[in-house]
Amino acid sequence: MSVPFAAVTGGSGRPLDQVRLTGLRARGHHGVFEHERREGQDFVVDVVLHLDTRPAAATDDIARTVHYGELATAVADAVRDHPVDLIETLAARVARVCLRDPRVVAADVAVHKPQAPITEDFGDVLVALRRHRDELLDAVPSPPVPAVLALGTNLGDREATLRSAVSALSATDGVEVTAVSPVVETDPVGGPEQPDYLNAVVLVRTSLSARGLLATAHAVEAQHGRERAERWGPRTLDVDLVDYDGLVAASPDLELPHPRAAGRAFVLVPWLAADPAAVLHADGGEAPVKELLERSPDRNGVRPRPDVLLEVPS
């Protein structure tokens, strides 16, 4: 890393280990000038990943650390991806790629532009930044990214509420509804005695941050009279952010993926119907939703409701 940062410490207070990849060269078409977009130029990227390598060292198992060959390909692909004006934007994109692995606590990225269109004699231009995993919750994506929202309702006109919620999400700036699952009916899980739920999953592409999309979900709940008076209690509408572009991150107000999604058949069944290739990312890697559903003890309690039709708003 050309511009050094202070060490990153783990939960125990000890400095984390580092995996470094330096001098990675890839051709991109980034820049504010038309000839940069047309002709392209070479960019050089350095990354430092901060993580605990002790589990890998103790087991000699590559699956317990970052595969630097795969990392190199992913970073090069990020450079070769769609053009942006600023290398600041490109560096942030590379940092997001580096933080896809949930073992990485923080990533330092330097993007060099040695062929920058400068009329003076110079050696290099670079932007260096550090991103921590929890910062990704506030990162605004470019381009829009996929996300998964789970809807549930057991009060009032449930069918009308689901339809209205899908329309409200679609009407939100920065949210494009791409698919809506079939509706299912399920028994309530936990909490006091209450009516059965109607559930559905909505697939979207969004230019909002993860926290921005969560705020949207809460706003749609509020529009439909949601009151948080009792944990696990009945509700007019529940909108959960289940997955956000495979991001694995946690903060006091938001954890991704949703911490209970892997065991909730009322989420997995409609999600699989909307996307048969769906995958849930977590600390241990990724698991196909189909396999998670096969292990779910309450999968037989999910009842199809083909009479309730939801559509992608036009």
- Does residue 313 belong to any structural domain of this protein? no
Predicted pLDDT at 229? 58
CATH number at residue 103: 3.30.1130.10
Predicted pLDDT at 298? 85
Instruction: Pick the closest to residue 181 from 242, 231, 120 (CA basis).
Output: 242
- Does residue 65 belong to any structural domain of this protein? yes
Instruction: Pick the closest to residue 68 from 7, 109, 25, 24 (CA basis).
Output: 24
CATH number at residue 256: 3.30.70.560
Same domain (yes/no): 186, 48: no
Same domain (yes/no): 160, 291: yes
Q: How many angstroms separate the CA atoms of 137 and 255, rounded? A: 9
- Does residue 244 belong to any structural domain of this protein? yes
Same domain (yes/no): 162, 296: yes
Predicted pLDDT at 250? 81
Q: How many angstroms separate the CA atoms of 75 and 44, rounded? A: 10
Predicted pLDDT at 163? 97
Q: How far, in Å, are 110, 123, 238, 273, 300 from residue 232 at the CA level?
A: 46, 61, 11, 25, 21
Predicted pLDDT at 189? 73
Q: Domain ends where: 82, 105, 138?
A: 138
When divided into structural domains, the chain yields a total of 2
What range defines the domain where residue 91 resides?
A: 17-138
Q: Domain ends where: 113, 138, 163?
A: 138
Same domain (yes/no): 115, 206: no
Same domain (yes/no): 169, 219: yes
Write the pLDDT tens digit of every residue in 189-218: 766 677 899 999 999 999 999 999 999 999
- Does residue 131 belong to any structural domain of this protein? yes
What is the pTM assigned to this prediction?
0.75
- Does residue 2 belong to any structural domain of this protein? no
* 30's tokens: 């980034």
SS (H, E, C) 101-123: CCCCCEEEEEEECCCCCCCCCCC
Q: How far, in Å, are 184, 195, 214, 265 from residue 158 at the CA level?
A: 12, 11, 22, 19
Predicted pLDDT at 299? 86
Predicted pLDDT at 228? 60
Active site residues: 113
Same domain (yes/no): 66, 88: yes
Same domain (yes/no): 43, 178: no
Predicted pLDDT at 139? 87
- Does residue 79 belong to any structural domain of this protein? yes
Predicted pLDDT at 13? 84
Predicted pLDDT at 190? 65
Taking only the tens of pLDDT, the chain with its 314 residues reads: 555 678 898 877 889 999 999 999 999 999 999 999 999 999 999 999 999 999 999 999 998 999 999 999 999 999 999 999 999 999 999 998 998 888 899 999 999 999 999 999 999 999 999 999 888 899 888 789 999 999 999 999 999 999 999 999 999 999 999 999 999 999 887 666 778 999 999 999 999 999 999 999 999 999 998 766 555 567 899 999 999 998 888 888 899 999 899 989 999 999 999 999 999 987 657 899 999 999 988 888 899 999 999 999 98
Same domain (yes/no): 151, 133: no
- Does residue 9 belong to any structural domain of this protein? no
Q: Domain ends where: 121, 138, 155?
A: 138
Predicted pLDDT at 215? 97
- Pairing, β 279-282 against β 175-180: unpaired
Same domain (yes/no): 95, 67: yes
- Does residue 71 belong to any structural domain of this protein? yes
Same domain (yes/no): 121, 202: no
Same domain (yes/no): 165, 281: yes
Same domain (yes/no): 161, 279: yes
Angle at 257 between CA 251 and CA 262, to 5 degrees: 130
Predicted pLDDT at 193? 73
